[in-house]
């Protein structure tokens, strides 16, 4: 699913109005009706108190139009207009008049002097600011927003939590509504998925207001949201006459004394992701451990007992996944550097190998094209330097990706795969996966997919999705706290099977009877 910018949404809005020969207020009416239907379906006329807070732009206009439908259906409603500017939008005014025709008079608020009492059982609808926010709200408006956040009432936001910028980082976190549910028009917004701002959205849903499909289809976006539909187009089915050689050979290089487990996890993950063959390359101490833990894989060892001192092998792997548990001792740095200088195989680079690259940036130019780097936030910071907000971070990652022609997997609650100017935002995964070894599993999965011939970008996007999906399936039986990296590997099979599961269909009356 594409994630459109505010500018693109406004453009779609203009094109739709022109093509369909409708007024902008008709588009607003569509939006308001969708909002109303959503609420009415769930509330079924319940007499819960609804406090509807509107701004004076089109987000507020949506709110005022929604108010009319709620009133017409007998809901228990109080409407407030936050007068943060003199410039009321045309469609806001049209809808305000229509509401007044019904003898409904909103409370016009010009300061935070009289904040209304809101019960914790009440519902707040937030239509203060939408995608038109372009500066931090005034102090009194921030106080109103804080009052709503502190009320403990359920907050339903129209389009985007008020106070959240669509395409830039926040300047003041106190100025943002904490939404329980966002009904977002036509497209979710990128900020819903970024670490700094994602916490302001508990749940979201898209309401289709019928913006011009042709424009939406043809328009390229900087970011895409990756779910099942998107990865299904990447999936490569197995061939009947394939053999283990068809599906490639992954070489997993890493480990040191006390950290052989990381190589076990990556190697097993590569195997379960479908790599035909897997070889692990570890210090000697790892030999028995790996041979015992994973009978399906082959093992090569360094001459040294406890750490890697030389990375040399005479096999021809399809891909090398390197770095987990490797340490950053001087000898291992040397071994990694001379390996990079001679290496001709595609690479997936993780953990300590990333830290070595950060220490010795001159090595970055040795990376084969489309090398995949999988940093967590700290490793990323060492690689690209610090950032002021998520948008600056992503800009820096894109520059880095272009400079070194590499793919960067920016790990987080919503991992973002970045290549050149484009980012792919993952939707699977859960907080239970913030546990030891899940990063090693991800490296193994991506390595295993590359081995099978997936192009590097596809392997990264699909790998991140599968890894998260396995975690989501695993957590159903483990709970967040007890989920382990091994559980994630154990459910890779289920994540693959899940790709082809059809959504559950409601059982018809006849089927129900014939089952009895």
Ligand X SMILES: NC(=O)C1=CN([C@@H]2O[C@H](COP(=O)(O)OP(=O)(O)OC[C@H]3O[C@@H](n4cnc5c(N)ncnc54)[C@H](OP(=O)(O)O)[C@@H]3O)[C@@H](O)[C@H]2O)[C@@H](O)CC1
Residues at the binding site for K(+) are 59, 126, 162
Strands ordered across the beta sheet of 49-54: 107-109, 76-82, 49-54, 123-127, 154-158, 179-185, 201-207
Map residue 325 onto helix, strand or coil.
coil
Q: Which residues contact 123 (CB under 8 A, 6 or more apart)?
A: 48, 49, 50, 51, 153, 154, 155, 156
Binds 212: which of K ion, ligand X, none (CB < 5-8 Å by kind)? none
Map residue 25 onto helix, strand or coil.
helix
- Establish if 159 lies at the interface with ligand X (CB under 6 A): yes
Q: Is there a contact between 303 and 309 (Cβ–Cβ < 8 Å)?
A: yes
Q: Is there a contact between 456 and 447 (Cβ–Cβ < 8 Å)?
A: no
Binding-site residues for (6S)-NADPHX, in ranges, read 58-62, 130-136, 159, 325, 376, 440
Map residue 467 onto helix, strand or coil.
helix
**Interface map 158-197 toward K ion (x if CB under 5 A):** x---x-----------------------------------
- Establish if 57 lies at the interface with ligand X (CB under 6 A): yes
Stretch that binds ligand X, among 34-42, 124-132, 346-354, 467-475 (CB under 6 A): 124-132
Binding-site residues for AMP, in ranges, read 411-415, 439
φ/ψ (deg, to 5) at 485: -60, -35
- Establish if 158 lies at the interface with ligand X (CB under 6 A): yes
Query: Rounded CA gap, 54 and 433, in Å?
Result: 39
The two tokens of residue 166 are 């669509």
296: DSSP letter: T
Binding-site residues, in ranges, read 58-62, 126, 130-136, 159, 162, 325, 376, 411-415, 439-440
Q: Which residues contact 113 (CB under 8 A, 6 or more apart)?
A: none
Strands ordered across the beta sheet of 2-3: 2-3, 223-226, 422-426, 416-419, 407-410, 372-373, 347-349, 319-322, 249-253, 277-282, 298-301
By beta-carbon proximity to K ion, the closer residue of 157 and 427 is 157
Stretch that binds ligand X, among 59-67, 225-233, 323-331, 428-436 (CB under 6 A): 59-67
By beta-carbon proximity to ligand X, the closer residue of 161 and 463 is 161
Q: How many angstroms from the chain centroid is the CA of residue 415? A: 5
Binds 55: which of K ion, ligand X, none (CB < 5-8 Å by kind)? ligand X
- Establish if 29 lies at the interface with ligand X (CB under 6 A): no
Q: How far is the CB of 128 from K ion (least distance, A)?
A: 6
Binds 89: which of ligand X, K ion, none (CB < 5-8 Å by kind)? ligand X
What H or E segment, with its residue span, contains residue 124?
A: strand 123-127
- Establish if 355 lies at the interface with ligand X (CB under 6 A): no
Q: How far is the CB of 321 from K ion (least distance, A)?
A: 44
Binds 31: which of ligand X, K ion, none (CB < 5-8 Å by kind)? ligand X
- Establish if 148 lies at the interface with K ion (CB under 5 A): no
Give the residue nearest to K ion (CB): 162
Site for ligand X (CB under 6 A): which residue of 80, 82, 122, 137? 137
Site for ligand X (CB under 6 A): which residue of 3, 4, 5, 31? 31
> What sign for the dihedral angle of Cα 274, 277, 283, 284?
positive
Q: How far is the CB of 289 from ligand X (least distance, A)?
A: 56
**Interface map 180-209 toward ligand X (x if CB under 6 A):** -----x-----------------------x
Give the residue carrying structure tokens 């001792």: 329
Stretch that binds ligand X, among 84-92, 272-280, 449-457, 471-479 (CB under 6 A): 84-92
Stretch that binds ligand X, among 24-32, 317-325, 404-412, 458-466 (CB under 6 A): 24-32
- Establish if 135 lies at the interface with ligand X (CB under 6 A): yes
Q: Is there a contact between 353 and 347 (Cβ–Cβ < 8 Å)?
A: no
What H or E segment, with its residue span, contains residue 58?
A: helix 58-72
Q: For binding to K ion (CB under 5 A), which residues are involved?
A: 126, 157-158, 162
């Amino acid at each position: 699913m594409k994630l459109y910018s505010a500018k693109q949404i406004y453009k779609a809005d203009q094109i739709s109005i022109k093509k369909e020969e409708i007024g902008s207020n008709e588009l607003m009416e569509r939006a308001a009706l969708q909002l109303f239907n959503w609420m009415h379906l769930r509330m079924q006329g319940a007499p819960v108190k609804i406090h509807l807070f509107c701004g004076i732009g089109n987000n507020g206009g949506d709110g005022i139009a929604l108010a009319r439908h709620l009133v017409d259906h007998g809901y228990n409603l109080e409407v407030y207009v936050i007068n943060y500017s003199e410039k009321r939008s045309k469609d806001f005014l049209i809808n305000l008049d229509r509401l007044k025709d019904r003898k409904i008079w909103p409370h016009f608020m010009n300061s935070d002097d009289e904040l209304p009492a809101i019960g914790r059982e009440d519902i707040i609808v937030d239509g203060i600011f939408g995608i038109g926010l372009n500066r931090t709200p005034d102090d009194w408006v921030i106080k109103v927003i804080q009052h709503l956040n502190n009320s403990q009432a359920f907050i339903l936001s129209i389009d985007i939590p008020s106070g959240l910028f669509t395409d830039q980082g926040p300047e003041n976190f106190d100025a943002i509504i904490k939404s329980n549910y966002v009904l977002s028009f036509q497209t979710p917004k990128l900020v819903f998925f970024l670490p700094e701002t994602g916490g302001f959205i508990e749940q979201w849903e898209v309401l289709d207001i019928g913006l011009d499909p042709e424009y939406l289809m043809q328009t390229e976006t900087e970011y895409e949201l990756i779910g099942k539909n998107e990865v299904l187009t990447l999936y490569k089915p197995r061939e009947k006459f394939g053999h283990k050689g068809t599906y490639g050979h992954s070489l997993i290089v890493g480990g040191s004394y006390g950290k052989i487990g990381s190589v076990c996890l990556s190697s097993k993950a590569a195997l379960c992701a479908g790599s035909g063959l897997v070889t692990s390359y570890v210090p000697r101490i790892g030999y028995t451990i790996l041979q015992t833990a994973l009978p399906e894989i082959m093992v090569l060892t360094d001459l040294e007992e406890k750490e890697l001192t030389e990375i040399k092998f005479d096999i021809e792997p399809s891909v090398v996944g390197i770095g987990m548990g490797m340490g950053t001792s001087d000898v291992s740095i040397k071994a990694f550097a001379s390996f990079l200088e001679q290496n001709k195989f595609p690479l997936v680079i993780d953990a300590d190998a990333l830290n070595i690259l950060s220490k010795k940036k001159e090595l970055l130019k040795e990376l084969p094209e489309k090398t995949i780097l999988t940093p967590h936030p700290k490793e990323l910071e060492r690689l690209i330097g610090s950032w002021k907000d998520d948008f600056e971070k992503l800009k820096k990652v894109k520059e880095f990706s272009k400079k070194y022609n590499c793919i960067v997997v920016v790990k987080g609650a919503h991992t973002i795969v970045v290549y050149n100017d484009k980012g792919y935002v993952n939707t699977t995964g859960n907080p239970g996966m913030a546990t030891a070894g899940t990063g090693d599993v991800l490296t193994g999965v991506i390595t295993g997919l590359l081995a099978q011939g997936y192009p590097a970008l596809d392997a990264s996007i699909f790998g991140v999705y599968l890894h998260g999906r396995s975690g989501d399936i695993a957590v159903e039986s483990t709970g967040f706290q007890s989920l382990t990296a091994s559980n994630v590997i154990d459910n890779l099979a289920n994540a693959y099977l899940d790709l082809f599961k059809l959504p559950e269909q409601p059982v018809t009356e006849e089927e129900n009877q014939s089952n009895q």
